[in-house]
Amino acid sequence: EVQLVESGGGLVQPGGSLRVSCAASGFTFSAYYMHWVRQTPGKGLVWVSRINSDGSNPVYADFVKGRFTISRDNAKNTLYLQMNSLKVEDTAVYYCVCYGLGSPAWGQGALVSVSS
Amino acid sequence: DIVMTQSPDSLAVSLGERATINCKSSQSVLYSSNNKNSLTWYQQKPGQPPKVLIYWASTRESGVPDRFTGSGSGTDFTLTISSLQAEDVAVYYCQQYYTTPLTFGQGTRLEIK
């Protein structure tokens, strides 16, 4: 069974940093591109970032470019999103997603709250 | 960026009746290599992550009731619920995964009339 489990969410002050992780199981993690998608409270879904299967060529949405870094550790079957210079508007549930398996696989999400 | 536009924004349907949600993309999401449309439909209930209903525009996810049907190709897609049940009350999203940035429709809120 494919599973994606996010962790590392929490409350952080504006300007602060946080790293969320996504532990993958049930498929060959190292073979697939991985994505982060976020959903702000009461709002829609927005794509954040993507990384290739070997960790190369990260791609970012304009609103996080220069602040967020996506990475992965294929030996640990884990995806990361390092978030720096956080803004109040970055408050959201962050989901890791894999689209290469046929049916998209989503985690349950990690809540990141940015507030003073 | 590919813009995904859903219609309507909200919809109220009687129990047992048909519900239809439309999704239009600003450019084709048809992969020429496999002749499949990179379009997914999600159902989301409060406090839950999105649930995949349909992928490749018309392939029903395992375990999803057959009253949910996805159709369309190129730029125009439809999600049809043939006979609305109370548990179908939710927000529905379409999404293209043809190219980054992956983009979502704004969502359609489905309620019982």
Scan for tokens 């199981």, then name that residue. A25
State yes or no: pLDDT of A7 exceeds 90: yes
Q: How many residues does chain B have?
A: 113
pLDDT, chain A, mean: 96
Give CA–CA dist A63/A86, Å, rounded: 11
State whether A106 and B49 contact (CB < 8 Å). Answer: yes
A69 falls in which pLDDT band (50, 70, 90)? very high
Q: Which residues fall within 8 angstroms of residue A94, CB to CB, at 6 or more apart?
A: A6, A9, A20, A36, A37, A38, A48, A81, A109, A110, A111, A112
Give mean pLDDT, residues A99-103.
88
Residues of B in contact with A99 (CB under 8 A): 97, 102
Q: Which residues fall within 8 angstroms of residue A53, CB to CB, at 6 or more apart?
A: A30, A31, A32, A33, A74
DSSP string, A14-60: TT--EEEEEEEESS-GGGS-EEEEEE-TTS-EEEEEEE-TTS---EE
Are A33 and A51 in contact by the 8 Å Cβ rule? The answer is: yes
State yes or no: pLDDT of A94 exceeds 90: yes
What's the maximum distance between 2 C-alpha atoms anywhere in chain A? 41
Tens place of pLDDT per residue across chain B (113 aa): 999 999 999 999 999 999 999 999 999 999 888 899 999 999 999 999 999 999 999 999 999 999 999 999 999 999 999 999 999 999 999 999 999 999 999 999 999 99
Closest CA to A27 of A94, A110, A105: A105
Give CA–CA dist B86/B111, Å, rounded: 9
Strand segments, DSSP code E, in chain B are 4-7, 10-13, 19-25, 30-31, 36-37, 39-44, 51-55, 59-60, 68-73, 76-81, 90-96, 103-104, 108-112
Scan for tokens 């429709």, then name that residue. B105
Residue A14 pLDDT: 98
State whether A107 and B49 contact (CB < 8 Å). Answer: yes
Q: Name the B residues in 49-68 with CB < 8 Å from any A CB.
A: 49-50, 52, 55-56, 59, 61-62
pLDDT digits (tens, 9 = 90+) for A16-68: 999 999 999 999 999 999 999 999 987 789 999 999 999 999 999 999 999 99
Residue A44 pLDDT: 85
State whether B52 and A61 contact (CB < 8 Å). Answer: no
Residues of B in contact with A95 (CB under 8 A): 49-50
A81 falls in which pLDDT band (50, 70, 90)? very high
Q: Given its phi and psi angles, is residue B53 left (phi above 0), alpha (psi -120 to 50 degrees) or beta? A: alpha
Residue B45 pLDDT: 96
Are A81 and A95 in contact by the 8 Å Cβ rule? The answer is: no
Residue A41 pLDDT: 81
Chain A residue with Cα closest to B58: A103
Structure token digits, residue A40: 């702000």
